[in-house]
Amino acid sequence: MAVLCKPAIAVPEYIITRDDTLELARQLHYDHLQLKKVLRLIEHTGVVRRHLIMPIDKVLEHPGLDARSAIYEEESKARVPSVVRKALDQAELEPQQIDLIIYVSCTGFMMPALTAWLINEMGFRSETRQIPIAQLGCAAGGAAINRAHDFCRAYPDANVLLVACEFCSLCYQPTDLGVGSLLSNGLFGDAVASAVVRGSGGTGVHLERNGSYLIPHTEDWISYAVRSTGFHFQLDKRVPGTMEPLAPALRAVAERQHWDAGELDFYIVHAGGPRILDDLCRFLDVPPEAFRFSRATLTEYGNIASAVVLDALARMFDEASALDGQRGLLAGFGPGITAEMALGTWTSTPAGTG
């Protein structure tokens, strides 16, 4: 009985508001031929503020890939452990009880992955398995949940730690002036999230089924161009319309569980932008309130990539509105175009406790 426990979230201390972002766009790109369109798109993202690991003037400097890689390592080591400790505490586990660490991040690269450092520094067993996921982008939060579920099905008494570390500000590229790139500059934020999937015991979402779906021939719609200056984010203008082909995939996963995707009790989905959520309301025939947790994440933190689903889930825990046995959907969307989907039921009674 794999149970996804309450996630822990941390956002960095530097804040940039939507008004700040709009003013920066006017100052930096005053002569851009499509500036009015860019400003209009940023205004309609639904993002009110975002958190950054550095002051905005430092982000704008872009000191080069070497320096950015050093910042990524330094900041991840400084910020991840406290979030992991909180996630473990919320799952009522110690590091020695974790059997697998799944670490997801698409905004920096280390080898060995941060998992090795965490095992050495935080008291995890040397036998702890490691799965770093680097290339699923925003879908990786859903993929981490699903791989943890698979592992717990294979090893029913196992416990899995999930870590999402996304410093999107380290991917800012001052020379990328396309509309998609400039929109991204007003959309993405930084965050660290962690959660535990317990093979037995625990309260939260009892994972029932998972699935993955790739929209054929869309692999260049969301991508990185990897250059000497780092990761250059590329976003196709067709991406906001991807919920139309993905909604049937969400319905199909639910149908295999004999559920109706439009009649569930809770929805935790990746908030890539407001249209994603608006279209899902329409194609799944659910009210806008169904995505209130994802909308809150987008409003308060921006698109925090793979950490979105964990933050949205933490908000549902905090609301304390879910009842035992209620059914829900979790989903992450990212490059591929890939959807990672999970179904679960809410449980507030750990297995074996009555």
Alpha carbons 335 and 222: distance in angstroms, whole number:
5
Q: How far apart are CA 283 and CA 287, in angstroms?
A: 11
Q: Which residues contact 85 (CB under 8 A, 6 or more apart)?
A: 122
Taking CA atoms, 64 is separated from 60, 70, 74, 172, in Å, by 11, 10, 16, 11
Residues 6, 93 contacting (CB under 8 angstroms): no
Q: Among residues 106, 138, 165, 168, which one is catalytic?
A: 138
Enter the DSSP assignment of 157: T
- Per the annotation, the verdict on 165 as an active-site residue is no
Residue type, 247: A
> What span, in angstroms and rounded, lies between the C-alpha atoms of 330 and 310?
10
Which residues does 271 contact at the CB level (< 8 Å), separation at least 6?
277, 291, 294, 295, 297, 298, 303, 308, 312
Length of the chain as a residue count: 354
Q: Are strands 230-235 and 129-133 parallel, antiparallel or unpaired?
A: unpaired
For residue 168, which amino acid is it?
C
Q: Rounded CA gap, 245 and 20, in Å?
A: 35
The C-alpha atoms of residue 149 and residue 229 are separated, in whole angstroms, by 37
Q: Active-site residues: which are they? A: 138
